[in-house]
Structure 1
Amino acid sequence: MTKKILILGFLANLASLSLDAQVSKDSLENLLETSIQYFDNYNYHKGIQCSMNLIGLAEKEAGQNYYLYHAHNNLGTAYEELRDTTRAKSHYIKSLKFAAAADNDTLLMWSYNNLGNIYSEASDNYQKGIDYYNRVIDLATKLDNKEELIAPNINIAWTYLDNDQASKAKTYLDNATKILKNQEMSYINAELNTLYGRYFLASNEIDSAEVYFENAVNIVNRDSLEYEGAEAYKWYAEMLFKAGNYQEAYNALKQQNFYDSKTFEHIKTTQIQAANARFDVNEYQKNLEIARKEKEYQQKIIDKSNEKLILLIVAAIVLSIILIFLYKINSSRRVLISELQEKNLELQKSKEATERLSNLKTQFFSTVSHELRTPLYGVIGLTSLLLEDKHLKSHQDDLKSLKFSADYLLALINDVLQINKMESKEVKIENNPFHLGDLLHSITNTLEFTRIQNRNKMHLEIDEVVPQYLIGDSVRLSQIMVNLMGNALKFTERGNIWVRVKRVEETSEECKLQFEVEDDGIGIPQSKQKEIFEEFSQIKPTNYNYQGTGLGLPIVKKMLKLFESDIHLNSIENKGSNFSFEICFQIDKEKLDLSKAETENTNSSIPEDMPKDLQSRILIVDDNRINQIVTKRILEQKKFDCEIAQDGNEAVEKVKDGNFDLVLMDVNMPGISGMEATRKIREFNIEIPVIALTAVEVEEIREEIHNAGMNDIIIKPYDTQQFYQVVYRNIMPIVL
Structure 2
Amino acid sequence: MKRLFFYILLTFLCYGYSVSKHTDSLKQRLLKSDADTTKVKLLAKLGFEYAFIDPDSSRLFCHQAIDLAEDIDFTRGSADAYNSLAISYDIEGNHEVSITYFLTALDLYNKIDNREGLARIYNNCGMVYQSLGDTLRSLEFHNQSLALEKELGDPTGIGYSMTQIASIHLQMEHYDSALVYYRSALELLEEIGDVQGLSYVHWGMGELYMYTNNTEKALEHSRQAYELFVQDENRKGMSETSIIMGRTYLKQKDYAKAEEQLLFALGLCKELEAKNVMLECLLSLSEMYKQQSKFDEALAYYEQYTALKDTVLKSEMTANIKEIESKYNFEKQQQQIALLNKENNFQTRLRNIFIVVAITISCLLVMLYWAYLSKARTMEVLKTKNKEIEKKNSIIAIEKQNALAAAQAKTDFLSVMSHEIRTPMNVVIGSIYLLMEDNPKPAQLENLNMLKFSAENLLTLLNDILDLNKLESGKLELESIPFDFNLLIKGISTGYSAEADKKGIKFLLDIDEQIPSQLIGDPGRLSQILNNLISNGIKFTEEGSVSFSIKVVGKSHKKVKLKFVVEDTGIGIPEEKQDSIFNNFTQANSNTTRKYGGSGLGLAITKQILKLFGSEISVKSKEGKGSKFSFKLSFKNDHVLEKA
TM-score, structure 1 length as denominator? Answer: 0.41
Q: Which has the larger radius of gyration?
A: 1
Q: From the two aligned structures, give the one with the greater helix fraction.
A: 2
